Amino acid sequence: MTHRLGVDIGGTFTDFALVDDQTGALAVHKQLTTPDDPSRCVLDGLEALLRRTGTEIAGLTTIAHGTTLVTNAVIERKGAATGMLVSAGFGDVLDIAMERRYDLFDLRLHFAEPVVPADLRAEIPERVMFDGAIGAPLDEAAVDRAVRGLVEAHGIEALAVCFLHSYADPGHEERAREIANELYPDLRVTTSNEVLPFMREYERWTTTTINAYVQPLTGRYLDRLETGLAELGFRGRLLVMTSSGGMATPALARRFPVRLVESGPAAGALMAAFLGQQIGEPDLLSFDMGGTTAKGALIRNNRALRRYEFEVAREHEFKQGSGLPLRIPVIDMIEIGAGGGSIAAVDERRLLAVGPRSAGADPGPACYGRQGERATLTDANVALGYLVPDAFLGGEMALDAAAAATALAGDVAKPLGVDTPRAAWGVHEVINEEVARAFRVHASEIGFDYRRCAMFAFGGSGPAHAMRVARKLRIPKVIFPLGAGVMSAIGLLTVPISFATLRSGRARLEELDAAGLDAGFAPVEQQARSLLEEAGVSLEGITMERRLDMRFYGQGHEVEVALPAAVSPARLGELFLAAYAETFAATPLDAGIEIVNWKIEASGPSPDFAERYRPFAGPSGGEPVARRVRLFDPVADGFVDGPLYDRYALAAGTAIEGPALIQENEATTVIGTGERVEVDGFGNLVATFGEGES
């Protein structure tokens, strides 16, 4: 009997999902993250889950892993000392950035600091021209001096090599890498042409420097994890989730750790798309709310939207341009500091704010009983009766309701001059409004209408907030999948090994023939195939998706065009005009068209589990109503008596009207007065709002 395991490390909890390859049977587990060393909680949780299910580790064939390690390292500036070799005269590009103000009217703007400070950047005489011609040879002696100085005077552990136009000719960067490795074989060297052969220098260089910055940290983490797993007797394959929604081997993750940004959240969005296809819901908002953050991803026609740009370490949470831009393939999502551990406080204006600071896993919310003293969203939900103290995590972790009330009284109720229940409701509702506001902004930026989609709500905290958020966004249907509290961990088991990349190379459409089209894609397809073959994917099992970034002559930016199989160059203009009209609602006439970037996504076969996933095998046979509880009802403006349902005892077709709680081991669904959910054939809880209700 063989099994596969999904592990998603979050800021507060680490989630585990174990599936039997033959039967599709699923077992899940959740435990507190160990921030000082995340590998420790992975190993401890793995042992606990195997022990509870009676599973032998020798039968574990695959561990699929998602982590926020890279994102947190950049935000918290916990990466390695990193040096940079840069073309002479361009050492300040990281500081000049885009020369763009993200807020025209704020006179005290703060921008994210580059991960490589100015004193660790060495300018090297060399020049490659935009067409690949050599304008000036590489000064190899200058490279030698610069690398020695950075290592010996500054103790760098990693080096980023970023020269002009290296996407057109990578020769200078590769020679600089060779020199650095000859001098210091243990120095981790990243070249920009390898990470991102893209023509815009600032984005290419920030992506490369961040890749170098987190390489030593990622390498040490994976070393500890692999060593620990080997000591437990694991002999299977370890895979790591990338931001684009595919799996990578540890070797590929060590080489391109920047691709692990948004690793865990991507799995949740893909799982929502997968489940939406199961039940015939092609357009979705994936709402994932855990202990530290809330994530929203948009899904159209059963596919999570992707893009090749992302910002990390933003100075202002909602303002594009205030962070460090990365040019990597990512699932398009909005993420805000709103989760169960979000800390509530009253400012000098007597206004209530919740987050983005989080109590995390250590010490955690006050109700965890781990010496946390600050009031958090979880404390508010306990005080409102939305979390039942002796049923949390299936009764394995009792919550301290008195500690939650004390923290809320001191941090919120007393400063505002209200009672504790009113303070708790304020915290709960502030988070709902913050999440709804962030999602509105994100949807408006890309033209997505929530009123014509359904919401998939999951994560440890998501089901407690989804109904209120959906009403604010006027979403007509909310779906709560079975296993909502560990949905990202389950999602890790449904995605194939894949690699997405791009290469810049300008080509005029009227000059392009079929051979030229294939030649443009050849370098990126060859790189992707070789990486997937190294990961053990057979050549015949690899599928390729082609895309092009195209624009009219004279434009500064481009639109993405998806190519159908075996498309002829003659159809490219037609496909571009359609994509352009969909984006801008109009197309200029009599303008030439050019290709700017060549993109591919190479994927191996999907895991068999994806086809067999059926978590609902009917009700457990127990009583549907476990007991009666007291919970806060905003309609009644006070506490009311309501049923606490055991989700595992609910049969398909069961209808539940609020106020009520529906309890499963990893999450609690809150149903308000006048709201109704029904259990569908897949075990999902489905709430449908009537016209004008939301």
pLDDT tens track for 115-145: 999 999 999 999 999 889 999 999 999 999 9
User: What CATH number is associated with residue 116?
Assistant: 3.40.50
Query: Would you say residue 541 lies in a domain?
Result: yes
Query: Would you say residue 9 lies in a domain?
Result: no
More confident residue, 320 or 186: 186
- Secondary structure (3-state) at 219: helix
Whole-number Å distance between alpha carbons of 524 and 601: 9
Number of domains in the chain: 3
Whole-number Å distance between alpha carbons of 520 and 668: 51
Smallest CA-to-CA distance from 528 within 505, 545, 511 is with 545
Are the C-beta atoms of 240 and 260 separated by less than 8 Å?
A: yes
Query: Would you say residue 407 lies in a domain?
Result: yes
Q: Which two three-digit tokens encode residue 516?
A: 């030229």
pLDDT at 677: 96
Domain closes at, from 575, 601, 627: 601
Domain closes at, from 384, 419, 454: 419
Looking at the fold, whether 84 and 195 belong to one and the same domain comes out as: yes
Range of the domain at 386: 342-419
pLDDT tens track for 291-315: 888 889 999 888 888 888 888 776 6
Q: Is the pLDDT of residue 690 over 60?
A: no
Looking at the fold, whether 98 and 200 belong to one and the same domain comes out as: yes
Which of 175-179, 236-240, 382-386, 440-444 has the least mean pLDDT? 440-444
Query: Would you say residue 244 lies in a domain?
Result: no
Angle CA 609–612–618, to nearest 5 = 130
Query: Would you say residue 389 lies in a domain?
Result: yes
pLDDT at 611: 66
Can you tell me the mean pLDDT for 321-341? Answer: 84
pLDDT at 692: 47
Are the C-beta atoms of 465 and 667 separated by less than 8 Å?
A: no
Domain closes at, from 574, 601, 628: 601
Query: Would you say residue 21 lies in a domain?
Result: no
Whole-number Å distance between alpha carbons of 16 and 9: 9
Q: Is the pLDDT of residue 579 over 50?
A: yes
- Secondary structure (3-state) at 466: helix
Whole-number Å distance between alpha carbons of 352 and 341: 16
Amino acid at 336: I
Are the C-beta atoms of 241 and 260 separated by less than 8 Å?
A: yes
Query: For residue 685, how many C-alpha atoms fall within 13 Å in the half-sphere facing its CB?
Result: 30
pLDDT over 70 percentage in the chain: 98
pLDDT tens track for 405-462: 999 999 999 999 999 999 999 999 999 999 999 899 888 877 788 888 999 999 999 9
Looking at the fold, whether 101 and 204 belong to one and the same domain comes out as: yes
Q: Is the pLDDT of residue 536 over 80?
A: yes
pLDDT band for 501, please (50, 70, 90 cuts).
confident
Can you tell me the mean pLDDT for 614-638? Answer: 87
Looking at the fold, whether 393 and 505 belong to one and the same domain comes out as: no
Are the C-beta atoms of 115 and 324 separated by less than 8 Å?
A: yes
Looking at the fold, whether 188 and 87 belong to one and the same domain comes out as: yes
Question: What is the H or E stretch that residue 209 is in?
Answer: helix 201-232
Query: Would you say residue 593 lies in a domain?
Result: yes
pLDDT at 566: 83
Which of 99-108, 201-210, 495-504 has the least mean pLDDT? 99-108
Amino acid at 479: I
> How would you class 430 by CB atoms within 10 Å of its CB: exposed for 0-12, middle for 13-18, buried for 19 or more?
buried
Whole-number Å distance between alpha carbons of 345 and 355: 9
Q: Which two three-digit tokens encode residue 187?
A: 């120095």
Are the C-beta atoms of 228 and 32 separated by less than 8 Å?
A: no
- Secondary structure (3-state) at 19: strand
Can you tell me the mean pLDDT for 60-89? Answer: 89
Looking at the fold, whether 203 and 99 belong to one and the same domain comes out as: yes
Whole-number Å distance between alpha carbons of 155 and 150: 7
pLDDT tens track for 32-53: 888 888 899 999 999 999 999 9
Query: Would you say residue 591 lies in a domain?
Result: yes
Whether a cis peptide bond, with omega within 30° of 0, leads into 607 is: no
| Backbone φ, ψ for residue 643 (5° rounding) | -80, 145
Q: Map tokens 């909005």 to a residue.
A: 334
